[in-house]
Amino acid sequence: MIDESTEGLRVNDSVVIPRDELATRASRAGGAGGQHVNTSSTRIELLWNVGTTRALSEEQRARVLQKLSSRLDSEQTVRVVASDRRSQRQNRESAEERLADLVRAALVVPKKRRPTKPSRAAKQARLDSKKRTSDKKRQRRWQGD
């Protein structure tokens, strides 16, 4: 395994978040866990400022800011919290993986939709179906005298 402490947090082939841009806070996790949870600070809060990062180009930054706008605070910082594991190290790894997944998903550029037309056969099939339905309903009508 590569020592990522020097490399940074790898998001994809072109984006690596430098470790010095990630702020980490540890606190006591809530929930089940008995005496262990009451005495150890295993909950990890990972903060990353998208607005000032060196990891993204201007185009990538704009895309991430737009996609993650609901998760950003007033300083353009995204916050990821992990408290599901028992150790601080495991929660830090979990939080980093969640942040990488979040940024990776935000960087995806959707394909441009190319409008298509129905084929001649599809149009004819549709019209034939309408004609059959129309005939069926016409035959159900009462003919009068």
The answer to whether the beta carbons of residues 71 and 117 sit under 8 Å apart is no
Looking at the predicted structure, is the pLDDT value of residue 137 above 90?
A: yes
Q: Where are the strands (E) in the chain, listed by range? A: 9-10, 16-17, 22-27, 43-49, 77-82
Q: Where are the strands (E) in 33-118, listed by range? A: 43-49, 77-82
pTM of the complete model: 0.68
Question: Which of 6, 22, 24 minimizes the C-alpha distance to 103?
Answer: 22
Is the sign of the CA dihedral 80, 84, 88, 93 positive or negative? negative
Structure-token pair, residue 96: 């980093």
Q: Which residues pair with residue 77 across a beta bridge? A: 49
Domains of the chain are: 4-107 (3.30.160.20)
Residue that wins the pLDDT comparison between 4 and 96: 96
Question: Which of 93, 94, 105 minimizes the C-alpha distance to 68?
Answer: 105
Q: Please report the pLDDT score of residue 122 as a whole number.
A: 96
Looking at the predicted structure, is the pLDDT value of residue 132 above 90?
A: yes
Q: What is the pLDDT of residues 69-111, one digit of tens each?
A: 898 888 989 999 988 887 888 888 999 999 999 999 998 888 9
DSSP letter at 63 equals H
Amino acid identity at 133: T
